[in-house]
Amino acid sequence: MDWAEGTSNQDVDFIFPLPFRELNLMKDKTISLVDLIKHFSPDVTDPRVFTNSEQKPMFIFDGLDECRLPLNFYSNPECCDLSESVPVNVLLTNLIKGNLLPSALLWITTRPAAAGLIPPECVSQVTEIRGFNDPQKEEYFRKKLSDESLASRVIAHLKSSRSLYIMCHIPVFSWISATVVERTSDGSGCVEMPRTLTQMYTHFLIIQVTNKNAKYTELEGRDEEMVFKLGRLAFQQLEKGNLIFYDEDLRECGIDVTEASVFSGVCTQIFKEEAGLYQGRVFSFVHLSIQEFLAALYVFLCFSNSERNMYQHDQQQTSQLSALFRAATLQDLYKMAVDLALQSRNGHLDLFLRFLMGLSLESNQNLLIHLMPQNASQSQSSAPTVQLVKRHIRDSSNRGHVHQDT
């Protein structure tokens, strides 16, 4: 924005966006920096012009947290020749280290958890974008909801729930909240607002399924199947730390290419498909929190249905999350999930745990009744689970990852 408004970086002549979700599709290729620039920017006929100090390029590597390339900064061979063809990951590490085009500026966007992938000596500045501040939260809802009275009640309601109001700093969560309110309020403007994170996302999922049924009547009756497959994809990729998926990832979950197009077409606010610039399509959930909710729902649905035994589906998985498959009872499942979340150094399972705990409530299960398997019976008292979580919080208070409003 500073560059566009003319307040800084005015010495930059060219800007090249290089999204990692596109670079991932080239992971098995060898290519030179000259050809990489030509591929993403065909109008640049001779990138060697940048060796002239008078021409200053900027490269924007977007989505480091989506990278599937092995960025081995200390073991990759050096490359200083713009015309030398090397594996893409070698090309990137040399560009970031300054061996290629040392005069170029590099901007790398990422979620905080992946920032450590870049060695500190390669980083000169870190900027954190925090999302909405409190005044911007209110401004968003007043602009999004045309009914001023409804907007005021929604803001007041969100402020009454500390956890929901904190979450509203994420623009996507504010959008989800506004979507739920618009669809659940009646003509008088009255609305029964969700009071927990799980309730909010459960209502949002129901809205998307309802939209699908209204638009594609031939797909009615497949709601449980559709949600289960999307949940399995969400869970498996959460295990691997992936936020974007490719055809082979979908096939592993029993989703063929045609189904993927249907899912992205009927659930555009949950699951989206993008046309890759480089020989392929890229899939993702609209936001990580939606992936985490569907992953938790998948675990709960598996556990609720003896015919969909979790171990049968994922017996080859050896990750920490796979331990959940060995749970014998619902209480065992939650205890193991709490332990896994507490073991996480960066808290990356916190939201997954909150959703899984929220699904233990009968009120949330009733909302999802038509998506639940017929033989599901998990309406056990949540009181032991609540006490379990509180005990773990007391014992691990110095960790600070799992919040009491879970």
The DSSP letter of residue 77 is P
Residue 213 included in any domain: no
Which tokens sit at 167? 């979450």
Q: Which residue type, as a one-letter code, is found at position 186?
A: D
Pairing outcome for strands 86-87 and 244-245: unpaired
In terms of domains, do 105 and 62 share one?
A: yes
In terms of domains, do 149 and 115 share one?
A: no
In terms of domains, do 341 and 258 share one?
A: yes
Residue 247 included in any domain: yes
Residue that is last in its domain, among 122, 155, 183: 122
In terms of domains, do 140 and 113 share one?
A: no
Helix or strand or coil: residue 31?
strand
Residue 252 included in any domain: yes
Residue that is last in its domain, among 122, 146, 170: 122
Cβ atoms of 384 and 338 closer than 8 Å: no
Tens-place pLDDT, residues 238-277: 888 788 888 788 888 888 766 666 666 555 666 666 655 5
Residue 222 included in any domain: yes
Residue 120: what pLDDT? 92
Tens-place pLDDT, residues 277-299: 555 677 888 888 889 999 999 98
Tens-place pLDDT, residues 188-221: 555 577 888 999 999 988 888 877 777 666 656 6
Cβ atoms of 284 and 22 closer than 8 Å: no
Cβ atoms of 46 and 91 closer than 8 Å: no
In terms of domains, do 330 and 352 share one?
A: yes
Residue 1 included in any domain: no
Per-residue pLDDT of the chain (406 residues), as tens digits, is 777 788 888 888 888 889 888 888 888 889 999 888 888 888 877 766 766 667 788 899 998 988 889 999 999 999 999 889 999 999 999 999 999 988 889 999 988 778 888 999 999 988 888 889 999 999 999 999 988 888 998 898 889 888 899 999 999 899 999 988 877 776 555 557 788 899 999 998 888 887 777 766 665 667 778 888 888 889 988 888 788 888 788 888 888 766 666 666 555 666 666 655 555 677 888 888 889 999 999 988 888 765 444 444 444 555 667 778 777 777 788 888 888 887 776 667 888 988 998 988 888 888 888 776 554 545 455 566 667 666 766 666 554 444 434 3
Residue 402: what pLDDT? 43
Residue 210 included in any domain: no
Residue 87: what pLDDT? 95
Residue 186: what pLDDT? 62
Q: How many residues does the chain have?
A: 406
Residue 267: what pLDDT? 59
Q: How far apart are CA 204 and CA 368, in angstroms?
A: 11
Nearest to 33 by CA among 9, 2, 59: 59
Q: How far apart are CA 94 and CA 119, in angstroms?
A: 12
Number of domains the chain is built from: 3
In terms of domains, do 265 and 390 share one?
A: yes
Predicted TM-score (pTM) of the model is: 0.75
Residue 403: what pLDDT? 43
Nearest to 239 by CA among 280, 300, 308, 296: 296
Tell me the residue range of the domain where 44 lies: 14-122
In terms of domains, do 251 and 360 share one?
A: yes
In terms of domains, do 37 and 140 share one?
A: no
User: What value does the CA radius of gyration of the chain take, rounded to a whole number of Å?
Assistant: 24
Ordered alpha helix ranges (H), 12-106: 20-23, 33-40, 88-97
Helix or strand or coil: residue 246?
coil
In terms of domains, do 141 and 98 share one?
A: no
In terms of domains, do 188 and 226 share one?
A: no
In terms of domains, do 382 and 329 share one?
A: yes
In terms of domains, do 104 and 188 share one?
A: no
Residue 177 included in any domain: yes
CA 100 to chain centre: 32
Residue 89 included in any domain: yes
